[in-house]
């Protein structure tokens, strides 16, 4: 039987300010699917490795087929692996969010790109490889056309699209035994005092936010049953994790399902802490209390703007008022709250940016993240600004933040970074000064509002 190595090419960049480290679920799912069909599979997760060791390990593994994950920040590393392994294996396959929406740019270095969900696609590819049959019969991939037995360098073929997995409960759990659980547990305990892993309980998101890349799971929202999810929770806890980060795009979308899920946790007497990403229009006091009682102690909201006009431009389909209510409900239920905001989005003015900072720092948040806009390939935002893109995402930031402006925007990169810094300081002051923040923080806010308006 063919042997397969799956690589997650994430190396901790030197100036990385992100503190989150999670095991790669996607390659875990693909590995399970291959292993259940009898293949010998290994995972090389580079999160805690240096590049030289990782490449040497990949070469030494000697797999027939190598599959490499890629998302927008990993393009260079992914290509570097492909080039290092080109002569060492028979078949190179790319998969994950970036190859799914930008397959052409991988076809120079890879034999095949998988677009979208990878479990069945990768299995069918490995089977076709073993049988010597044509890859063109495998749906959901991009490959090269065979011309009289020869593989042409130029003739790139997009095969028929693959149907999305309809019954998520039937998909095998990710192969956690192949992941570096001890390293993740050690990192997470040292950093946060608890050990977190991710689980995904739904796939797809029915909304079409202008900046979001949903090339893998699409807009068709599908759910796992609470029973099936809790079996995976039990399995994850048995590895020594004590906390779950639900990685769904919209964990709280279906109210009935969340209530059933919380009830089921109680019935099974499962004690673990968890966190998730929620949409502000799906959280109210009752649901927040049920979640808190079931162990949820942190919720993140993608609010993105504190101005209704900008929220419309982003196609977020939420309002500032809904956002305030949701954060207040979660906070009142005793759940720690976090929120993500984008500053200086295309179409914003100085005043809308200041609205966002004012709004974000007025909320009872425990964690607050501001970023510059990132046009991801395959998104409507990308289409809107693609003629202005001037840099690749992977160029690291140098100044006081690792944010990189990759297109010619209405705001300069300096102005954007200043807005982020201002927002962070305002948030810090508010947290430190508590109820005195309004008076003590006001001079800082007024002064920096003025500076922000003046800067070009
Ligand atoms: C958890 C998460 C993180 C975690 C870490 C990732 C991890 N190790 O788990 C953290 C919080 C650190 C993170 C950070 C970022 N993230 Co993130 N993250 C996610 C999230 C919410 C879940 C990931 C996940 O577990 N998915 C579940 C698995 C099952 O899905 P999957 O990985 O796509 O795998 C499937 C297929 O892709 C395929 N597949 C996967 N691997 C392979 C390999 C092969 C060979 C094949 C054939 C197929 C295949 O099969 C799998 C099963 O069907 C996704 C959103 C999402 N819905 O996936 C965003 C997402 C991956 N992140 C994204 C982004 C943009 C970022 C950031 C850049 C955000 C920022 N502005 O800072 C950073 C970058 C971090 C870095 N320095 O590289 C984007 C990527 C978009 C793109 N086109 O590349 C996504 C898609 C969010 C979005 N909708 O825009 N992220």
Atom of ligand 1 nearest to the CA of 67: 45
| Least confident piece of the model among 10-19, 80-89, 115-124, 322-331 | 10-19
- The answer, yes or no, to whether any atom of ligand 1 lies below 6 A from the CB of 200, is yes
Q: Is the pLDDT of residue 400 over 70?
A: no
pLDDT-based confidence at residue 16 (cuts at 50, 70, 90):
low
- 102 C-alpha vs ligand 1 centroid, how far in Å? 15
For the residues 216-229, what does the mean pLDDT come to? 95
Atom of ligand 1 nearest to the CA of 277: 21
User: What CA–CA distance (Å, rounded) separates 138 from 121?
Assistant: 7
Q: Is the pLDDT of residue 15 over 80?
A: no
Q: What is the pLDDT of residue 151?
A: 56
Residue nearest to atom 12 of ligand 1 (CA): 20
Residue nearest to atom 39 of ligand 1 (CA): 96
| CATH (residue range 180-454) | 3.20.20.70
Q: Name residues whose C-beta falls within 8 Å of residue 456's C-beta, 6 or more positions apart in sequence.
A: 412, 415
And the tokens for 27?
């390659």
| Least confident piece of the model among 322-331, 347-356, 391-400, 427-436 | 391-400
- 106 C-alpha vs ligand 1 centroid, how far in Å? 17
Q: Is the pLDDT of residue 45 over 70?
A: yes
Residue nearest to atom 5 of ligand 1 (CA): 22
User: What CA–CA distance (Å, rounded) separates 223 from 127?
Assistant: 29
Q: Name residues whose C-beta falls within 8 Å of residue 64's C-beta, 6 or more positions apart in sequence.
A: 2, 3, 4, 89, 90, 91, 129
Q: Is the pLDDT of residue 180 over 80?
A: yes
Residue nearest to atom 72 of ligand 1 (CA): 18
For the residues 29-37, what does the mean pLDDT come to? 98
Q: Is the pLDDT of residue 437 over 80?
A: no
- 247 C-alpha vs ligand 1 centroid, how far in Å? 9
pLDDT digits (tens, 9 = 90+) for 69-102: 999 889 999 999 999 999 999 999 999 999 999 9
Residue reference for tokens 């070009």: 456
- The answer, yes or no, to whether any atom of ligand 1 lies below 6 A from the CB of 28, is no
Cβ pair 141, 125 in contact under 8 A: yes
Cβ pair 198, 245 in contact under 8 A: yes
Q: What is the pLDDT of residue 313?
A: 97
- The answer, yes or no, to whether any atom of ligand 1 lies below 6 A from the CB of 216, is yes
- The answer, yes or no, to whether any atom of ligand 1 lies below 6 A from the CB of 374, is yes
- The answer, yes or no, to whether any atom of ligand 1 lies below 6 A from the CB of 7, is no
For the residues 121-138, what does the mean pLDDT come to? 95
- The answer, yes or no, to whether any atom of ligand 1 lies below 6 A from the CB of 91, is no
pLDDT digits (tens, 9 = 90+) for 52-74: 999 999 999 999 999 999 998 89
Q: Is the pLDDT of residue 30 over 80?
A: yes
Q: What is the pLDDT of residue 147?
A: 64
The CATH number of 3-158 is which of 3.30.70.20, 3.40.50.720, 3.40.190.10, 3.40.50.280? 3.40.50.280
Q: Is the pLDDT of residue 317 over 80?
A: yes
Residue nearest to atom 78 of ligand 1 (CA): 73
- 11 C-alpha vs ligand 1 centroid, how far in Å? 14
Q: What is the pLDDT of residue 432?
A: 82
Which one is predicted more confidently, 400 or 207?
Answer: 207
Q: What is the pLDDT of residue 102?
A: 92
Q: What is the pLDDT of residue 29?
A: 98
Atom of ligand 1 nearest to the CA of 26: 34
Q: What is the pLDDT of residue 434?
A: 75
Q: What is the pLDDT of residue 443?
A: 85
Which residues of 112-167 form beta strands (DSSP E)? 112-114, 141-147, 150-158
Helical pair 51-61 and 75-85, crossing angle rounded to 10 deg: 40
- The answer, yes or no, to whether any atom of ligand 1 lies below 6 A from the CB of 89, is no
For the residues 218-245, what does the mean pLDDT come to? 96
- 396 C-alpha vs ligand 1 centroid, how far in Å? 19
Atom of ligand 1 nearest to the CA of 16: 77
Pocket test for ligand 1, best of 24, 26, 119 (most atoms within 8 A of CB): 26
pLDDT-based confidence at residue 20 (cuts at 50, 70, 90):
confident
- The answer, yes or no, to whether any atom of ligand 1 lies below 6 A from the CB of 117, is yes
Atom of ligand 1 nearest to the CA of 72: 84
pLDDT-based confidence at residue 36 (cuts at 50, 70, 90):
very high
Atom of ligand 1 nearest to the CA of 121: 47
Average pLDDT, the chain: 93
- 62 C-alpha vs ligand 1 centroid, how far in Å? 27
Q: Is the pLDDT of residue 447 over 80?
A: yes
Pocket test for ligand 1, best of 27, 216, 223 (most atoms within 8 A of CB): 216
- The answer, yes or no, to whether any atom of ligand 1 lies below 6 A from the CB of 26, is yes
Domains 3-158 and 180-454 equal at CATH topology level: no
For the residues 428-456, what does the mean pLDDT come to? 84
Q: What is the pLDDT of residue 441?
A: 77
Domain boundaries, the chain: 3-158, 180-454
pLDDT digits (tens, 9 = 90+) for 373-396: 999 988 999 999 999 988 877 655
pLDDT-based confidence at residue 146 (cuts at 50, 70, 90):
confident
pLDDT digits (tens, 9 = 90+) for 268-308: 999 999 999 999 999 999 999 999 999 999 999 999 999 99
Q: Is the pLDDT of residue 431 over 90?
A: no
Q: Is the pLDDT of residue 397 over 60?
A: no
Atom of ligand 1 nearest to the CA of 376: 83
Q: Is the pLDDT of residue 398 over 70?
A: no
Cα 215–221–222 angle (5° rounding)? 110
Helical pair 437-454 and 350-362, crossing angle rounded to 10 deg: 160
pLDDT-based confidence at residue 143 (cuts at 50, 70, 90):
very high
User: What CA–CA distance (Å, rounded) separates 318 from 85?
Assistant: 46
């Amino acid at each position: 039987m063919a042997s397969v190595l799956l690589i997650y090419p994430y190396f901790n960049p030197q100036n990385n300010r992100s503190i989150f480290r999670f095991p790669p679920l996607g390659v875990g799912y693909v590995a399970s699917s291959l292993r259940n069909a009898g293949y010998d599979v290994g995972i090389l997760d580079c999160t805690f490795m240096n590049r030289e060791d990782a490449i040497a390990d990949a070469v030494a593994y000697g797999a027939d087929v190598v599959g490499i994950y890629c998302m927008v920040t990993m393009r260079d590393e992914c290509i570097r692996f492909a080039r290092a392994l080109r002569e060492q294996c028979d078949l190179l396959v790319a998969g994950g969010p970036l190859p799914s929406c930008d397959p052409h740019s991988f076809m120079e270095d890879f034999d095949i790109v998988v677009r979208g969900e990878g479990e069945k696609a990768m299995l069918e590819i490995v089977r076709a490889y073993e049988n010597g049959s044509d890859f063109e019969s495998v749906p959901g991939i991009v490959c090269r056309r065979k011309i009289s037995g020869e593989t042409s360098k130029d003739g790139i073929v997009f095969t028929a699209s693959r149907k999305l997995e309809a019954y998520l409960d039937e998909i095998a759990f990710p192969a956690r035994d192949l992941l570096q659980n001890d390293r993740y547990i050690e990192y997470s305990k040292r950093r946060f005092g608890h050990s977190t892993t991710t689980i995904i309980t739904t796939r797809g998101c029915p909304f079409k936010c202008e900046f979001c890349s949903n090339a893998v799971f699409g807009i068709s929202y599908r759910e796992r049953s609470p029973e099936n999810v809790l079996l995976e929770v039990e399995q994850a806890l048995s590895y020594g994790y004590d906390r779950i980060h639900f990685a769904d795009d919209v964990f709280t979308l279906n109210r009935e399902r969340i209530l059933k899920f919380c009830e089921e946790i109680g019935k099974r007497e499962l004690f673990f802490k968890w966190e998730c990403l929620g949409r502000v229009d799906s959280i109210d006091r009752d649901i927040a209390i049920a979640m808190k009682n079931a162990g949820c102690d942190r919720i993140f909201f993608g609010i993105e703007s504190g101005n209704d006009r900008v929220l419309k431009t982003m196609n977020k389909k939420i309002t500032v008022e809904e956002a305030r209510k949701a954060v207040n409900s979660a906070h009142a239920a005793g759940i720690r709250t976090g929120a993500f905001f984008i500053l200086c989005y295309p179409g914003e003015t100085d005043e809308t940016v200041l609205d966002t900072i004012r709004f974000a720092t007025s909320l009872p948040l425990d964690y607050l993240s501001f970023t510059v806009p990132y046009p991801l390939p395959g998104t409507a935002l990308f289409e809107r600004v693609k003629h202005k893109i001037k840099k690749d995402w992977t160029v690291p930031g140098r100044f006081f933040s690792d944010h990189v402006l990759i297109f010619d925007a209405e705001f300069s990169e300096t102005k954007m970074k200043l807005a982020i810094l201002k927002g962070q300081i305002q948030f810090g002051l508010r947290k430190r000064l508590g109820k005195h923040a309004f008076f003590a923080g006001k001079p800082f806010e007024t002064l920096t509002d003025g500076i922000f308006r003046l800067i070009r």
